[in-house]
Amino acid sequence: MRYLYACLVAALLAGCSSTDKDYSRPLPPGKMALEKITDPALYPDFSKGWGDKETLMASIDYSLSYYEKPSSKKYFPYLDISHDRAVASLHAMKALLQSCTSGAELNSRIAAEFDIYRSVGWDGSGEMLFTGYCEPIYDASLTRTDKFRFPLYGKPEELIKDDDGMPIGWRHKDGTIGSSPKRVDFDSGCIAGRGLEIAWLADPMDVYVVQVQGSARMKLEDGTMMQVGYAGKTEYPYGSIGKQLIRDEKIEKKHLSLRAIRSYFHEHPDELNHYLQVNNCYVFFRQAEGGPYGSLGVKVTPYRSIATDKGVFPRGGVAYLVGKLPEVRKGERNGEHEFCQFLMDQDTGGGIRSAGRADIFLGTGPDAEMLAGAVGDEGLLYYVFVKETGVKVAEK
């Protein structure tokens, strides 16, 4: 059974793009998210992804460590891609990064030596919505105090998951498995006092953001730092506070951001508990030093790791994103810039269940949190796998 240390990356603005496109539309049963491009004229310009090779090669190594796990083999073949070919693709990509001397050379060699696949996107056009996630840092305490009153819980033994780490339900005292408690039940203390509290925060909104992001660093009262990571969640689907605030005309769609949501609840603290219940999905944590980790059990790298629906996208592969990222000033979106980048598919999003959505890991701390809260941009996603003629079984 693989551990799902997933960052739950259904960002607060997910599904709130500037259009009414249904990026969460599921694929037809049995269909995968990628299709092979047969016309080289449709390949993207990979030369724009040239640069900062060291972080990409390190991220590739993390995926290679995942492929060394015997459990990784059960997710292949993916389309015409065998496990051996997936491994060989990472080695081939590392070799290119080490031997190429320019972006132009990298572009031409990828076109010659690799097959290129494109996500079909939400409607077959390839268009996707990209959001962001991060590892926030919050003040916390290991014990409850007058200031720190809101807990992060470890995983209860009653929570039942399948072999892929997906939640099934809740084991009741009579041994039957039924629905898990809802957020209101946990907030009311249904598992309080059992020793499951691993940290206490000062703000319930901080607790909620940690649950959405799936990992965090806790700055404790003695100045030490503790990392926490995802340990499990209840089976309920993610519900977007941001979308509900827009429907209720509390925030205009064009102004939606994490900062705007925090500002609204700062001015209307009596409404916070009501809106928290929009999302019945409740997330549990564990100490996870050395992370943050993605759902493959390996570290995620800022601007080099993405989270996708692992039911339809290939695990651990080299992706290439063609899109934009926002410029953020004083917490507000203020323009955008082109973002063409190689990333590794190393994580799973609790709120991502389609070929039309992906999340970019943006790093740790307040700046990353501010940026993640503003990302919501359309783009295209490609994957590269070495041609069959270049496949060699990876050395052990």
Classify the phi-psi angles of 126: left when phi > 0, otherwise alpha if psi is within -120 to 50, otherwise beta: left
Closest CA to 272 of 221, 227, 209, 315: 209
Residue 61 or 370, more confident: 61
Of the candidates 123, 112, 127, 40, the one whose C-alpha atom is nearest the C-alpha of residue 321 is 127
Give the confidence band of 385 by pLDDT, cuts at 50, 70, 90. Answer: very high
pLDDT digits (tens, 9 = 90+) for 150-199: 999 999 999 998 877 788 999 998 889 999 999 999 999 999 999 999 99
256 and 149 co-located in one domain = yes
Q: Does 350 or 275 have the greater pLDDT score? A: 275
Q: State which of 287, 314, 338 marks the end of a domain.
A: 287
Total domains present in the chain:
2
On whether both 277 and 162 belong to a single domain, the answer is yes
Which of 333, 332, 364, 324 minimizes the C-alpha distance to 131? 324
Residue from 284, 297, 346 nearest 133 by CA: 346
**5 pLDDT exceeds 60?**
no
Asked which of 257, 287, 317 is the last residue of a domain, the reply is 287
pLDDT per residue as tens digits for the range 125-146 = 999 999 898 999 999 999 999 9
**What count of residues does the chain have?**
396
Contact of 282 with 186, CB cutoff 8 Å: yes
Query: 214 and 76, same structural domain?
Result: no
- Does 15 reside within a domain? no
Is residue 21 a part of any domain in this protein? no
8-20: average pLDDT: 44
Q: Are the CB atoms for 248 and 359 separated by under 8 Å?
A: no
**Do residues 234 and 167 lie in contact, with contact meaning Cβ atoms separated by under 8 Å?**
yes
Mean pLDDT, the chain, whole residue set: 89
Which of 119, 55, 70 is closest to 297 using CA atoms?
A: 70
Interatomic CA distance for residues 346 and 300, integer angstroms: 7
Last residue in a domain, options 233, 253, 287: 287
pLDDT at residue number 2: 24
What's the CATH code of the domain at 147? 2.40.240.50
User: What pLDDT sits at residue 6?
Assistant: 31
* Average pLDDT, integer, range 222-238: 91
Distance CA 183, CA 173 (A): 20
Task: Please indicate, yes or no, if residue 157 is contained in any of the structural domains.
Answer: yes
**Residue 216 shares a structural domain with residue 267:** yes
pTM of the model: 0.84
45 and 114 both lie in a single domain: yes
- In whole angstroms, how far apart are CA 220 and each of 33, 143, 199, 242? 42, 10, 9, 30
> How far is the C-alpha of 251 from the C-alpha of 134, rounded, in Å?
23
Is 293 part of any domain? Answer: no
Domain shared by 380 and 349, yes or no: yes
Same domain, 374 and 357: yes
Q: What is the pLDDT of residue 19?
A: 54
User: How confident is the model over 313-333, as a mean pLDDT?
Assistant: 87
Per DSSP, the three-state class of 79 is coil
Q: How deeply is 394 buried, as exposed, middle or buried, from its count of CB atoms within 10 A (0-12, 13-18, 19+)? A: middle
Q: Which domain holds residue 218?
A: 135-287
Do residues 266 and 308 both lie within one domain?
no
Cα–Cα distance measured from residue 295 to residue 63, given in angstroms and rounded to the nearest whole number: 11
Q: Is 135 helix (H, G, I), strand (E, B) or coil?
A: strand
In a 3-state reduction of DSSP, which class is residue 286? strand
Does any domain span residue 19? no
Tokens of 337: 């810039």
pLDDT on residue 164:
74
Residue 182 falls inside a structural domain? yes
Q: Same domain, yes or no, for 234 and 351?
A: no
257 and 333 belong to one structural domain: no
| 40 plus 106 within the same structural domain | yes
Give the model's pLDDT for residue 274: 94
Answer whether residue 28 is part of any domain: no
Does the residue 5 lie in any domain?
no
Contact of 45 with 341, CB cutoff 8 Å = no
Looking at residue 386, which CATH number applies to its domain?
2.40.40.10
Looking at the structure, do residues 185 and 143 belong to the same domain, yes or no?
yes
Question: What is the arithmetic mean of pLDDT over 62-91?
Answer: 97
